Structure formats: C-alpha cells, structure tokens
Amino acid sequence: MAGMSRLPSVLSHLDLPEAELHAAKLDGELYRIDQCFSPVDEIESRQLRARALAVTIPARLIVEQRSAAWIYGASWLPHRHQFCADINARVRTSTLVGLTVREVVIEVGDLVDMAGLPVTTPVRTVVDLARNCLSFGDDELRIIGALMRIGGFGLEECRAVLDRRRNLPHKTLALERIAEAMRRVEAVPRA
C-alpha cells in the first residue's frame, strides 16, 4: 500500500480485498473500526465510527441504544449492533440477519445526522436504554451517565422525551434508572 495516494478514512471489503485489509492491519498501516478499517493516522471519532457503520448497514435504519452510545464514545463496541426503523419507513426487518432492529415511533428531533447516518440523540439514546435494557446494571448506568455528560442534559430533559407519548411502557422504571445514573455521576469526584 506504500506509495498510494491518500486513503479514504474508512475502508471495507468494497474498497480492497479482505486479505489485503488484514495484511495492512498486520503491517501497522490500518486499524480495525467495527467491520471496517481506518488508516493509523486517522483519529478515531464519532464521525469515523458512524462512517464505518454506515458502510455495513441498509439504508433507512437508525442507529440506537448501545450502538449509538458507541458512536458517541460512551460505550465499547457492542457485540450486536442495535438499530431501529421508523414504523412508517417500510423496512423489511425479517431479511436482516445478525442485526437487532426495532420498529419505533420516532420524531425528527430524536435524530442527529452523523456522516450521513441517522443516530438517535444522546437524550433519546438514554431514554431507550433505560426503558428497554432487560439486563440493567453498572455498565448501563455508566453508559447513561456518560451520555448525559456528553449531551449536557439531566433528568428533566429525559422526562420531557418520555412525556411526549402517552401509555409508554416502562416510563417509571426508566426514570428511576436515569436518576440512579445521575446519582452515580454526581458521586464521582471531578478531576
């Protein structure tokens, strides 16, 4: 790969054969970013993580929950990516193998564009994690706290998102979880 012009910031098997990508990684020229690779002189960022994910998913899917937290830098790469689709988007989820996809009611204000990829905002991500995580523990509390710091919001902003829809399941549980995450963040001494 020496002597090539500037490489794109994200490379996948669509750009180069998989064996060549792995060889360049072994040579120290590329590093892995999800299912893609990036030149070592590219600093990992939200935009770069979003670009890497955009290469691998179908159009009209929205990045949510742990995958959104990963893009924001609040979590490690999840074992299985989580996406949602607007209930009106007509995405055929039955053909998507290896992805978790939920159909949801989502508003434009719940989304942010990152590298052409729709991602739930930090506050919507917090609310969804707090409402939908079946196994909820220290890791989820840490992720929620990190997202709240990144987004610069608190419990009232989360409550406002939850209150936009009536009869929303797990609303009280979500608020309790978010409040606990805030207590833990506030208990950590500032550096």
CB-based burial of residue 189 (10 Å sphere; 0-12 exposed, 13-18 middle, 19+ buried)?
exposed
**152 in the Ramachandran plot: left (φ > 0), alpha (ψ -120 to 50) or beta?**
left
What kind and span of H or E run contains 109? Answer: none
Cβ-proximal residues to 69 (8 Å cutoff; 6+ apart), any chain: 75, 125, 129, 143, 146, 147
pLDDT tens profile 104-144: 999 999 999 999 999 999 999 999 999 999 889 999 999 99
Of residues 40 and 98, more confidently modeled: 40
Q: Which two tokens stand for residue 86?
A: 């607007």
User: Does position 32 have pLDDT exceeding 90, yes or no?
Assistant: yes
Query: At 18, is the pLDDT very low, low, confident or very high (cuts 50, 70, 90)?
Result: very high
Q: Is the dihedral of CA 37, 113, 116, 128 positive or negative?
A: positive
> What is the band of 184 on the pLDDT scale with cuts at 50, 70, 90?
confident
Domain locations along the chain = 59-187
Mean pLDDT, range 31-55, rounded to an integer: 95
Confidence band, pLDDT 50/70/90 cuts, at residue 189: low
Q: Say whether pTM exceeds 0.75.
A: yes
Task: Specify the pLDDT at position 185.
Answer: 81
pLDDT of residue 148: 96
- Give the Cα separation of 93 and 11 in Å (integer): 26
What's the gap between Cα 75 and its chain centre?
8
